[in-house]
Chain A
Amino acid sequence: MTGLANGGGGIAIGMIAVPALGFALAPNLDKKPLAWEAVGTPEEFSQDTYVSRTITLTPGAGETGKSTVYMRARNAEIDKEPVDDYNQFIAISTRCMHLGCPVRYVDASERFICPCHGGVYDFLGQVQGGPPVRPLDRFYTRIKDGLVEVGPRFSVNSELKRFSPRDPAQDLDGIGQYLFPSRPTIRKLPGT
């Protein structure tokens, strides 16, 4: 009888706790939908400098869901990572890898500068100074129907090797990729 009462109580608690926790934690398991967004024709992007484009990171959040990306065409002389279908154009994220402030590209110095705590990145987005822990994130790009499209984000380590997206301040060299595991919500494209 006591067991029945305790069991009944347990079921009643579970009926409240499971949906409540589910509501709170479900977004941790929801995969972000894959989206490609056309940003212009190939002629608009040169090898020598960046142009800015606005893409939508989060649909349904209005202006807040948009972000700037800096884009240029691949330059075989400086871009040493292996060529594939997704890096004919280089799309650099403006999210600073220190704590996520927006960086801007300064044409005169050919560097990305963060206004918050003085992070500096070179033309490839690799850290040159300040507190950032890894190079700027990038986005997959592809050419479809004659237009350049920007796709999902990926992170890179100091050798510009692709990793599943990580938040800022998460190191990807050495044991960093294990200390800061990738999350179910956002992964790099399979096979890249």
Chain B
Amino acid sequence: MLKLPSVPGATPPRPGTPAAEPKTKLDNAAEAATAALGWLDERTALSGTARFVMFRKVPKGTNWFYTLGTSTMFAFMSQVITGVILAMFYDPSPNRAYESMRYINNDVWAGQFVHGMHRWGATVMVIFIFLHMGRTFFFGAYKYPRELNWVIGVLLVLLVMIMAFTGYLLPWDQRAYWATAVGVNIFASAPIAGPYLGDFLRAGPDFGATTLSRFYSIHMLVLPGLIMGLIGAHLYLVIKHGTTAPPWVTAELDEELRSEEV
């Protein structure tokens, strides 16, 4: 028989006790799996992290509104996956961008579906992130000690808005072009810094060959990295603080303590 190391916490069989039944294949498999996990845990101490992440106390009154943050994160993951697939076919040059989108939609297997997932997924993500923000606000979940997490969340909202803005240009059709022209001009209408900001976004005074590649680089390299990092910090703080109870759930008063108070 395979000699496996003992699992921490498992009760060793007492000596002299006769084995009740011979071990089945299932028992062996379970033992092997436990041993493998034990080997990993001994070298990484991941079980502590796993307990920290997964076994948390949840307040009374937790309801469906508490799923909006996770929904936003799943929308983001869907955007990452479909975005990576689209990037395999997309060509961010002004003479080829529209053609490559046409190719994705008409010729690539399920290309229109993946493009649609990315396009509608972007809308879904923006809607979810605002619903999540509204939930946090109306449930008062931004209050002490969670202010920093609110600040990180607001940064994430801004990054998602920039993500949506830069992504809108990429199909390079009439709607994309003019919507982005208007958007850049809104940026440029800020006093003093505006004109320079406009030049920075366009990479010059007019929309040109490098405007598109600039937006593409911001959209698929700069922002996803920042968003992933901030989601990590956001999740860490959520797990560290735990979630809040809804405002209509009040603490039960202990009658004895109540009399002590007076």
Q: Is B198 an interface residue (CB 8 A)?
A: yes
Which of B16-24, B116-124, B125-133, B189-197 is the interface stretch? B189-197
Question: Given known contacts A27-B210, A32-B205, what 13 new A-B pairs fall within 8 Å (CB)?
Answer: A27-B202, A58-B209, A61-B95, A62-B94, A64-B94, A65-B94, A99-B182, A99-B185, A99-B186, A100-B182, A165-B205, A170-B194, A183-B199
| A85-101 vs B, Cβ < 8 Å mask (1 yes, 0 no) | 00000000000000111
Describe B's contact surface by its main secondary structure: helix
Q: Is B204 an interface residue (CB 8 A)?
A: yes
16 contacts between A and B (CB under 8 A): A27-B203, A27-B210, A28-B200, A58-B207, A61-B209, A62-B95, A64-B207, A99-B182, A99-B185, A100-B185, A101-B178, A167-B194, A169-B185, A170-B189, A179-B192, A182-B195
How far does the Cβ of B206 sit from chain A's closest Cβ, in whole Å? 5
> How distant is the Cα of A166 from the Cα of B209 in the complex, in angstroms?
21
Q: Is B188 an interface residue (CB 8 A)?
A: yes
Q: A28 with B206: in contact, given A116-B182, A169-B189 (CB under 8 Å)?
A: no
Q: Are A64 and B195 in contact (CB under 8 A)?
A: no
Q: Is B66 an interface residue (CB 8 A)?
A: no
How far does the Cβ of B80 sit from chain A's closest Cβ, in whole Å? 24
* Residues on B facing A (Cβ under 8 Å): 94-95, 172, 177-178, 181-182, 184-186, 188-189, 191-192, 194-196, 198-200, 202-210
CB-CB nearest in chain B for A58: B208
Among B186, B202, B206, point to the contact of A169 (Cβ < 8 A).
B186
How far does the Cβ of A23 sit from chain B's closest Cβ, in whole Å? 10
CB-CB nearest in chain B for A67: B206
Which residues of chain B are within 8 angstroms of A179 by Cβ–Cβ distance?
A: 191-192
| A1-40 vs B, Cβ < 8 Å mask (1 yes, 0 no) | 0000000000000000000000011011010100000000
Q: Is A192 an interface residue (CB 8 A)?
A: no
| A157-175 vs B, Cβ < 8 Å mask (1 yes, 0 no) | 0000000011111100000
Q: Is A102 an interface residue (CB 8 A)?
A: yes
Inter-chain CB contacts under 8 Å: number: 93
Which residues of chain A are within 8 angstroms of B191 by Cβ–Cβ distance?
A: 179-180
Q: Are B200 and A27 in contact (CB under 8 A)?
A: yes
Q: Are B94 and A101 in contact (CB under 8 A)?
A: no
Q: Are A58 and B200 in contact (CB under 8 A)?
A: no
Q: Is A136 an interface residue (CB 8 A)?
A: no
Q: Are A101 and B182 in contact (CB under 8 A)?
A: yes
Most central of B194, B198, B202, B207 by chain A CB within 10 Å: B198
Q: Are A28 and B188 in contact (CB under 8 A)?
A: no
Q: Are A185 and B95 in contact (CB under 8 A)?
A: no
How extensive is the interface on chain A, given as a class?
Answer: 20 to 34
List A50-93 residues whose CB lies under 8 Å from chain B.
Answer: 57-58, 60-62, 64-65
Which residues of chain A are within 8 angstroms of B185 by Cβ–Cβ distance?
A: 99-100, 167-169
Most central of B196, B205, B208 by chain A CB within 10 Å: B205
Which residues of chain A are within 8 angstroms of B210 by Cβ–Cβ distance?
A: 27
List A175-192 residues whose CB lies under 8 Å from chain B.
Answer: 179-183, 185-186
Q: Are A28 and B196 in contact (CB under 8 A)?
A: yes
> How distant is the Cα of A49 from the Cα of B188 in the complex, in angstroms?
33
Q: Are B208 and A60 in contact (CB under 8 A)?
A: yes
Q: Are A169 and B188 in contact (CB under 8 A)?
A: yes
Q: Are A61 and B188 in contact (CB under 8 A)?
A: no
Q: Are A167 and B200 in contact (CB under 8 A)?
A: no
> How distant is the Cα of A185 from the Cα of B189 in the complex, in angstroms?
17
Q: Are B94 and A61 in contact (CB under 8 A)?
A: yes
Q: A185 with B178: in contact, given A167-B185, A168-B185 (CB under 8 Å)?
A: no
- List 5 tightest A-B contacts by C-beta distance, closest first: A169-B189, A27-B203, A186-B205, A167-B188, A58-B208
Q: Are B178 and A30 in contact (CB under 8 A)?
A: no
Q: Are B178 and A61 in contact (CB under 8 A)?
A: no
How far does the Cβ of A29 sit from chain B's closest Cβ, in whole Å? 9
Q: Are B186 and A57 in contact (CB under 8 A)?
A: no
Q: A185 with B204: in contact, given A64-B94, A169-B185, A170-B189 (CB under 8 Å)?
A: yes
